[in-house]
């Protein structure tokens, strides 16, 4: 019997068993070609069908309007920290960034090499435990876009109300990609790494408004140009075929579950199970995040002492509840419950947490 644990890793993370089994089944002889997908040409008819379907499904399942291009780009979300300003900023145009925590800081740092970047709101005073209201965000004249990190994977905070600030938004949605609907009118660009809700690591899906491409920077290495990826339907060079193939399978899996609305509702329900345990534990568990901004994907919590946290993690692992340690920069515990995490696994964790609290509280 294959062993499968309850894997609460923050990314790469658990994927649906059904998808893994399908991949396993068709791996060695892909659709009768006598070779696997990763051994064939990216110009073959078999791969072409995989690629085209993944692109179509991305538009469909994300409910992206026709005036957005979908791009598959290697380098994860991290490369987008640089590609966004490189492509979108023209001379004399600043861009505002919401500094909401560790990942926003990464985006701000890298963007600073390529444009006039300013911090439009800084969460430092709140210890990065909340997101800003629109009125707190300061937008300077001529701002090209406001960059937000919709869900801080390490801090466990999410934007509840998208900012309404009169300039187009750009969002890093890596850790809640395909887990919430996107009000496309507000955005010029949305990006995310796919290794949480959508497949393996190493690639980003980028949605960019076609009108924004009309002015994008051409004085860049080809791979760094959004317009080149758009013109070539993300086949400018050899694409990460296996990642795109799995992305297609994940998108189909989510479409069959009922699409975005169903997934979003399920995510809220799974998160509520854990926050309820935390809130009714009489202070044994503590979630430091402002209630309105609690993440639906990364539930962070502390126990009364580091000793108890260590014990919690080791006893949890004994019950096959693994990867619950908080990020090394902040400590504590974190349960990442992305789309492929079954409700039953979240319920198993919730039960374990209740038992642990009553044994040690």
CB within 8 Å of 255: residues ≥ 6 apart: 57, 60, 61
Q: Which is nearer to ligand PMP, 37 or 205 (CB)?
A: 205
Residue of 172, 188, 249, 253 with catalytic role:
172
Least distance between ligand PMP and beta carbon 51 (Å): 20
Two tokens, residue 177: 């990609």
Least distance between ligand PMP and beta carbon 174 (Å): 4
Residues at the contact surface with ligand PMP, assessed by CB under 6 A = 11, 76-78, 103, 149, 153, 172, 174-175, 193, 195, 201
Least distance between ligand PMP and beta carbon 295 (Å): 11
Least distance between ligand PMP and beta carbon 358 (Å): 33
Least distance between ligand PMP and beta carbon 76 (Å): 2
Burial (CB < 10 A; 0-12, 13-18, 19+), residue 248, is buried
Check: CB of residue 119 under 8 Å from CB of residue 92: no
Q: Which is nearer to ligand PMP, 103 or 226 (CB)?
A: 103
- Which residue is closest to ligand PMP by CB? 76
Separation CA 107–CA 99 (nearest Å): 9
Residue of 103, 121, 270, 325 with catalytic role:
103
Range list of β-strands (E), 123-237? 146-149, 151-152, 157-158, 169-172, 187-193, 203-209
Q: Tally Cβ neighbours within 10 Å of residue 3.
A: 5
Has 67 been annotated as catalytic? no
Least distance between ligand PMP and beta carbon 55 (Å): 20
Q: Which is nearer to ligand PMP, 13 or 313 (CB)?
A: 13
Q: Which is nearer to ligand PMP, 103 or 352 (CB)?
A: 103
Q: Which is nearer to ligand PMP, 30 or 176 (CB)?
A: 176
Two tokens, residue 231: 């013109």
Has 172 been annotated as catalytic? yes
Q: Which is nearer to ligand PMP, 201 or 220 (CB)?
A: 201
Has 103 been annotated as catalytic? yes
Separation CA 283–CA 215 (nearest Å): 53
Separation CA 50–CA 206 (nearest Å): 18
Residue of 110, 121, 196, 227 with catalytic role:
196
Q: Report DSSP state, residue 249.
A: H
Two tokens, residue 360: 């040690």
> Strands 94-99 and 146-149, how do they pair?
parallel
CA 52 to chain centre: 22
**Nearest partner of 265 among 298, 300, 299, 296, judged by Cα:** 296
Query: What residues act catalytically?
Result: 103, 172, 196
């Amino acid at each position: 019997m294959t062993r499968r644990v309850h894997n609460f890793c923050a990314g790469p993370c658990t994927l649906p068993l059904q998808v893994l089994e399908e991949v396993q089944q068709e791996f060695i002889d892909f659709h009768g070609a006598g070779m696997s997908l990763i051994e064939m040409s990216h110009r073959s008819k078999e791969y072409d069908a995989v690629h085209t379907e993944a692109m179509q499904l991305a538009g469909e399942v994300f409910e992206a309007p026709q005036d957005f291009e979908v791009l598959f780009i290697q380098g994860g979300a991290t490369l987008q920290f640089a590609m966004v300003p490189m492509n979108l900023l023209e001379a004399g145009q600043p861009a505002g960034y919401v500094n909401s925590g560790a990942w926003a800081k990464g985006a701000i740092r890298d963007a600073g090499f390529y444009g006039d970047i300013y911090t439009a709101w800084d969460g430092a005073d709140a210890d990065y435990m909340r997101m800003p209201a629109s009125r707190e965000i300061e937008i300077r004249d001529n701002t090209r876009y406001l960059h937000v990190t919709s869900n801080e994977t390490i801090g466990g905070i999410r934007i509840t109300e998208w900012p309404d600030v009169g300039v187009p938004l750009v969002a890093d949605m890596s850790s809640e990609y395909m887990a919430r609907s996107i009000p496309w009118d507000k955005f010029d660009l949305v990006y995310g790494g796919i290794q949480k809700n959508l497949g393996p690591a190493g690639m980003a899906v980028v949605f960019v408004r076609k009108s924004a491409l009309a002015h994008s920077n051409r004085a860049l290495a080809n791979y760094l140009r959004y317009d080149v990826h758009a013109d070539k339907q993300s086949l400018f060079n050899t694409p990460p075929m296996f990642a795109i193939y799995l992305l297609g399978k994940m998108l189909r899996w989510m479409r069959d579950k009922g699409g975005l609305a169903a997934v979003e509702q399920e995510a809220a329900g799974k998160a509520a199970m854990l926050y309820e345990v935390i809130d009714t534990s009489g202070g044994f568990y503590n979630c430091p995040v402002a209630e309105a901004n609690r993440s639906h994907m990364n539930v962070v919590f502390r126990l009364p002492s580091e000793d108890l946290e260590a014990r919690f993690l080791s006893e949890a692992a004994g019950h096959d509840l693994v990867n619950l340690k908080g990020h090394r920069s902040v400590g504590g515990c974190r349960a990442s419950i992305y789309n492929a995490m079954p409700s039953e696994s979240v319920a198993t964790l919730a039960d374990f947490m209740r038992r642990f609290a009553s044994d040690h509280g």
